[in-house]
Chain A
């Protein structure tokens, strides 16, 4: 599929504006923004920041003038928060709290608010590690509530669940894969009832589904697991094609230019066939091995970041290594890209802005936020939106200012 056609297909999936960031890693799920963001960051670039009432690794999502973010709080992390803030100044527009109905145990490093919500432009759907799933309209009116951890009591993970929701073809898709009662399900967005539910490999899985172009302009949902990758029809959950050569259960597949960059045997690039046949392998690069962070594609470079902070750029043509750069600190957050720069945040909350050159990467600015940050930032309105366990920031420059 021609890259521009693929991009068009994905852009049509959600009725949101081009500069919105309606799900994990943005409208296309690739962590890439076509709108540049300020790159010389310091304290003066903080447009606003607000306190949050609970912990979270989920990304903020931005639709129109509203930002939505989830948190969890309480001694057992069993209080679930969905908050709506003004994009303009950060003030709280509304908040809804819920009591978790599923297991809330997680690794101490994470918490109950790990999956990133998704919006279809009219509603917000939020999933938590306890597998509680809530749908609200933009004014905070409750549309439905599901307790997937209560409905399916062995659907849990003692280290926590992290997979983010996707919305495709009028179906909300949740990957609830774990060692025991493992499934992926599609829900009717109007009332949350199961549209389909399929058994999946019984192995813990922290990856997020992503959307891939299918035959005839259809959108498929790619679900990754230790077995590999399966492309599902969002209306039925039927497997359209699969790739069975194994894949990571932590970093997720990135779709860019109609190709799939799969964390599999290092990094494996797949290109789906035009008529739904299994994808062909374009290249495989064992040396491009992502850590916790998912790969990011910028132009003709694919960037992978390992947990120790080594950033590696590979060629999207054949996967050969172009350059490496050692960043500061340990990395959990997936970087985002805009304006030829990569925005990486280490676990100590140090934002590192990397200019992506053809033969080298260069850190052009650093900005300490002073708090542990494990979540992936978001980009909208020419700003970076970052959250920690306690705080939410909008970082950037007013429109028209030098970047």
Chain B
């Protein structure tokens, strides 16, 4: 890995290392940022961490800066080192480098979690200043800061004054990205006689072609590649579990986007089905496929397998699984395989999913029609 030190100098935040220490610190940062999967680099990182945790409090922004581009393992090593530095200094406004932390926080190019940590440090030293900053993050690219700002806006709404409450809640709803916040705000708006179309807010993929059933007795169908996994031909006829099966159109009107395969294919057990949707966009873009289901599943986009999981009837929730992928300009094909097992309990009847395409923060991407 390339040294992080020139990178830090470029930002001008690390231009004052103690004499004779910069090389050590640079090496320590490199070692910590080199940790990887399965504990790779842990031993070297543990030694390096001590060096970083001993840094003076003036170097806190540099530690936060080192999180830019770091993997999630490394971010945790850096966070805890910064935490030690901050705790050793105390939380007083006189000890923490608040102007530099503020500058870091307000620069949205930095690691969103590092920025949230900077916010927490500022809040520990100066709660009033932190509270004043919060509204700035209503449309922040960082999930935690944005959530905080949305919640602050919602909490500040007095329900008694409907005319003032509704626009503020609508503003919060437009900014919210977490499903629990969206649902809570929609509920409050509903109580103020301002119903919310959750289908529109979440942006579900509602129009599908579905085919099935295929055999999934004993769960064997999860790994078995049935013909739709070879190619999706809307006019094809396949040998199914109980005879020939063909694709059929299915559109859900459920406000939470649930596509219930028990309806178009049948309330069956030990089966697998497929759902395919076209998703057209005008330019290439990184997105997330967000899926919720209590069934076994696999997802492909444009023929590329993204992920799958053979867990049945534990639980489901909105955005349960998030899969990053880059859509190509024009025509994209999302293929979902949904498996049902043979459990007979009432709570095991569900054979359904909800899927949406969002930006990495959770804003729905609308397909071209």
The answer to whether A150 and B73 touch across the interface, beta carbons within 8 angstroms, is yes
The answer to whether B79 and A99 touch across the interface, beta carbons within 8 angstroms, is yes
Interface residues of A in 78-129 (CB under 8 A from B): 94-99, 101, 105, 107
Closest B residue, CB atoms, query A197: B38
Binds A, one of B166-174, B189-197, B271-279, B308-316: B308-316
Contacts of B255 in A (CB 8 A): none
Report if B304 contacts A (CB, 8 A): no
Closest B residue, CB atoms, query A144: B42
Task: Determine the distance from Cα of A150 to Cα of B75 in the docked complex, in whole angstroms.
Answer: 14
The answer to whether A141 and B76 touch across the interface, beta carbons within 8 angstroms, is no
Interface residues of A in 167-211 (CB under 8 A from B): 178-180, 187, 190-194, 202, 204
Question: A101-B73, A179-B311, A180-B310 in contact; A141/B37 too (CB < 8 A)?
Answer: no
Partner of B38, one of A94, A151, A178, A202: A151
* Interface range on chain A (Cβ under 8 Å from partner): 35 or more
The answer to whether B83 and A96 touch across the interface, beta carbons within 8 angstroms, is yes
Min CB gap A184→B, angstroms? 16
Question: A157-B311, A180-B311 in contact; A193/B42 too (CB < 8 A)?
Answer: yes
The answer to whether A142 and B39 touch across the interface, beta carbons within 8 angstroms, is no
The answer to whether A105 and B39 touch across the interface, beta carbons within 8 angstroms, is no
Min CB gap A183→B, angstroms? 12
Contacts of B76 in A (CB 8 A): 98-99, 101, 134, 145
The answer to whether B46 and A144 touch across the interface, beta carbons within 8 angstroms, is yes
Min CB gap A94→B, angstroms? 7
Task: Determine the distance from Cα of A42 to Cα of B314 in the docked complex, in whole angstroms.
Answer: 40
Partner of B53, one of A141, A145, A157: A141
Task: Determine the distance from Cα of A99 to Cα of B37 in the docked complex, in whole angstroms.
Answer: 16
Task: Determine the distance from Cα of A76 to Cα of B45 in the docked complex, in whole angstroms.
Answer: 28
The answer to whether A97 and B83 touch across the interface, beta carbons within 8 angstroms, is yes
The answer to whether A99 and B113 touch across the interface, beta carbons within 8 angstroms, is yes
Task: Determine the distance from Cα of A202 to Cα of B72 in the docked complex, in whole angstroms.
Answer: 27
Determine the main DSSP class of A at the interface with B. loop
Closest B residue, CB atoms, query A79: B144
The answer to whether B39 and A193 touch across the interface, beta carbons within 8 angstroms, is yes
Contacts of A154 in B (CB 8 A): 309
Min CB gap A124→B, angstroms? 13
Number of A-B contacts (CB under 8 A): 101
Report if B139 contacts A (CB, 8 A): no
Question: A76-B178, A99-B75 in contact; A105/B42 too (CB < 8 A)?
Answer: no
Report if B199 contacts A (CB, 8 A): no
Min CB gap B50→A, angstroms? 7
Min CB gap A111→B, angstroms? 14
Question: A97-B83, A194-B38 in contact; A158/B311 too (CB < 8 A)?
Answer: yes
Contacts of B35 in A (CB 8 A): 145
Report if A400 contacts B (CB, 8 A): no
Task: Determine the distance from Cα of A105 to Cα of B178 in the docked complex, in whole angstroms.
Answer: 13
Partner of B73, one of A74, A75, A145, A180: A145
The answer to whether B315 and A150 touch across the interface, beta carbons within 8 angstroms, is no
Report if A266 contacts B (CB, 8 A): no
The answer to whether B314 and A204 touch across the interface, beta carbons within 8 angstroms, is yes
Interface residues of A in 125-159 (CB under 8 A from B): 134, 140-147, 150-151, 153-154, 157-159
Interface centre among A101, A107, A144, A146 (most CB of B within 10 A): A144
The answer to whether A146 and B39 touch across the interface, beta carbons within 8 angstroms, is yes
Partner of A142, one of B81, B312, B314, B317: B81
Contacts of A192 in B (CB 8 A): 39, 42
Closest B residue, CB atoms, query A181: B309
Min CB gap A249→B, angstroms? 12
Contacts of B307 in A (CB 8 A): 153
Report if B49 contacts A (CB, 8 A): yes
Mask: chain A, 273-313; 1 = CB below 8 Å from B; 0 = not: 00000000000000000000000000000000000000000
Contacts of B72 in A (CB 8 A): 99, 101, 147, 150
Report if B87 contacts A (CB, 8 A): yes
Task: Determine the distance from Cα of A96 to Cα of B43 in the docked complex, in whole angstroms.
Answer: 19
Task: Determine the distance from Cα of A158 to Cα of B77 in the docked complex, in whole angstroms.
Answer: 27
Report if B3 contacts A (CB, 8 A): no
Contacts of A151 in B (CB 8 A): 37-38
Closest A residue, CB atoms, query B72: A101
Min CB gap B105→A, angstroms? 17
Closest B residue, CB atoms, query A193: B39
Closest B residue, CB atoms, query A80: B76
Contacts of B81 in A (CB 8 A): 142
Question: A99-B76, A159-B314 in contact; A143/B46 too (CB < 8 A)?
Answer: yes
Mask: chain B, 233-263; 1 = CB below 8 Å from A; 0 = not: 0000000000000000000000000000000
Contacts of B45 in A (CB 8 A): 144
Contacts of B50 in A (CB 8 A): 141
Interface centre among A134, A159, A179 (most CB of B within 10 A): A179
Question: A99-B76, A105-B317, A145-B76 in contact; A191/B39 too (CB < 8 A)?
Answer: yes
The answer to whether A141 and B49 touch across the interface, beta carbons within 8 angstroms, is yes
Task: Determine the distance from Cα of A151 to Cα of B35 in the docked complex, in whole angstroms.
Answer: 12
The answer to whether B144 and A145 touch across the interface, beta carbons within 8 angstroms, is no
The answer to whether B314 and A179 touch across the interface, beta carbons within 8 angstroms, is yes
Task: Determine the distance from Cα of A179 to Cα of B42 in the docked complex, in whole angstroms.
Answer: 29
Min CB gap B144→A, angstroms? 7
The answer to whether B46 and A75 touch across the interface, beta carbons within 8 angstroms, is no
Contacts of B147 in A (CB 8 A): 75
The answer to whether A158 and B316 touch across the interface, beta carbons within 8 angstroms, is yes
Closest B residue, CB atoms, query A179: B311
The answer to whether B73 and A96 touch across the interface, beta carbons within 8 angstroms, is no
Min CB gap A87→B, angstroms? 20
Mask: chain B, 113-124; 1 = CB below 8 Å from A; 0 = not: 100000000000
Interface centre among B50, B53, B79, B311 (most CB of A within 10 A): B311
Task: Determine the distance from Cα of A83 to Cα of B348 in the docked complex, in whole angstroms.
Answer: 39
The answer to whether B320 and A142 touch across the interface, beta carbons within 8 angstroms, is no
Interface residues of B in 71-91 (CB under 8 A from A): 72-73, 75-77, 79-81, 83-84, 87
A-B contact pairs, 10 of them (CB 8 A): A75-B147, A75-B181, A142-B80, A146-B42, A151-B37, A179-B310, A179-B312, A192-B39, A193-B38, A194-B39
- Apart from A150-B72, A191-B39, A204-B311, 4 more pairs, CB < 8 Å: A99-B79, A107-B315, A150-B37, A158-B317
